Structure 1
Amino acid sequence: MSAGAELITAEDPYFRGIGADASLPHCMAIRPLAATSPGGPHIVDLAGGRGWLIYTFMQRHVDPRIIVTEAFWA
């Protein structure tokens, strides 16, 4: 739930650029699912690899959305 809250309140949910995810908790890392598609699905590694979320950000003027397509926790 805290990972979802971080994504929803992020200034840039794709965390583009070097050090753009520096404001995230130390146990979270975000990267594109495919390096060739930086605007496509992204993966959030949680707790040093113990889990992950795969999400896509839909930018809309009125109500931007983050759609989680897969969640895993070991």
Structure 2
Amino acid sequence: MRGEKMLKKQHGHYDHIEKQYKSELESDVSKDEIQFDWSDTLAFTIATFQVIFPYALALAGSYAVIMLLFSLLLGRN
């Protein structure tokens, strides 16, 4: 409570943002109304590939280099 009063003193010109934020919080939108559609699935799939692909590529590349080195060292082509 004390921190809110100090914040209002320091940042009095942000009152309209605070009012808008409170009205959004108090709105009657429930969590059941959030729609999850195909674009969300696509976004999560792309994000997953962006996270996993560099590690998978590094693993496959290091495996290929090791296999190439062993094939050159052992004389098999």
TM-score, normalization by structure 1: 0.17
Greater helix percent: which structure?
A: 2
Greater strand percent: which structure?
A: 1
